[in-house]
Amino acid sequence: MKEEYKGKIVFWPINIDSTVSIRKGRKIPLDAAVKNPRLQEVIEAAQKLGLNPEVERKSYPRNWWSQTARIVVDKKWSKRETLKRISMEIKRRRGT
């Protein structure tokens, strides 16, 4: 792991997208995932959880031709727990 990412978690919005299979990149269970998360929603949820999100414009490796962004957040929990909490915060904000 690069030194700049120590104590951080790096992920893409696709990792919490319920419309994506685990094979295609979803990292959390379907019932915890959110449908089509927007980058701004992910950033706001991470801010609400106190994770100090930073956005990096990068391409998702399995979809390299599509320009997207990844989010780097402080590590308070495991990656899977962090993704679940962000997803639940988005669901709470959407009212679903």
CATH number at residue 51: 3.30.56.30
Instruction: Indicate the number of domains in the chain.
Output: 1
Beta bridge partner(s), residue 11: 71
State the pLDDT at residue 1. 58
Q: What integer best gives the mean pLDDT of the chain?
A: 93
Integer Cα distance of 41 and 61 in angstroms: 22
Question: In angstroms, how far is CA 96 from the centroid of its own chain?
Answer: 18
Structural domain harbouring 72: 3-94
HSE-up of 90 (CA within 13 Å, CB side)? 23
Whole-prediction pTM: 0.90
Q: What is the pLDDT of residues 1-31, one digit of tens each?
A: 577 789 999 999 999 999 999 999 999 999 9
